[in-house]
Amino acid sequence: MNWAGRFRAALADFTSVPRPLDGVPPFVWHGSVRTSEIAEQAARYGDGFFVNNMFAPMEHYARSVALYRRRFTHHGDGAPEDGTVGAGSGIWVHANSQEAVREYRP
């Protein structure tokens, strides 16, 4: 494949390996911390949506997941609950919670 675009280096004679097994492409995750456009993109392609809870209140992430599920159905990919959602968060681990809080907080 040859490709030239505006926001990254051009590709010349590019190929990807290994090829998808039995012609089935691999599962794709679209990850987002803040923007709802990624939820829309994941839903449009019928892919998974991964939200990473870093700074915003949980309500922000709940709205992003709800948008993804609504749009997943809108694009004909299945029922809202059929959309694959993953979530992550930063953690700090220690022998006990008091030590973890003491070390983590400024």
DSSP letter string, 11-46:
BSS---SSPPGGGPPPP-EEEESS-THHHHHHHHHT
pLDDT tens string 48-104: 999 987 777 888 889 999 999 999 999 999 999 999 999 887 777 788 889 888 887
Q: Model's pTM, two decimal places? A: 0.67
Q: How far apart are CA 79 and CA 83, in angstroms?
A: 7
CB 16 within 8 A of CB 26: no
d(CA 96, CA 20): 45
Which one is predicted more confidently, 38 or 92? 38
Q: What is the pLDDT of residue 38?
A: 95
CA distance 77 to 32: 20
pLDDT at 10: 93
Beta bridge partners of 32: 51
Domain ranges of the chain: 28-104
Distance CA 67, CA 97 (A): 35
Q: What is the pLDDT of residue 92?
A: 74
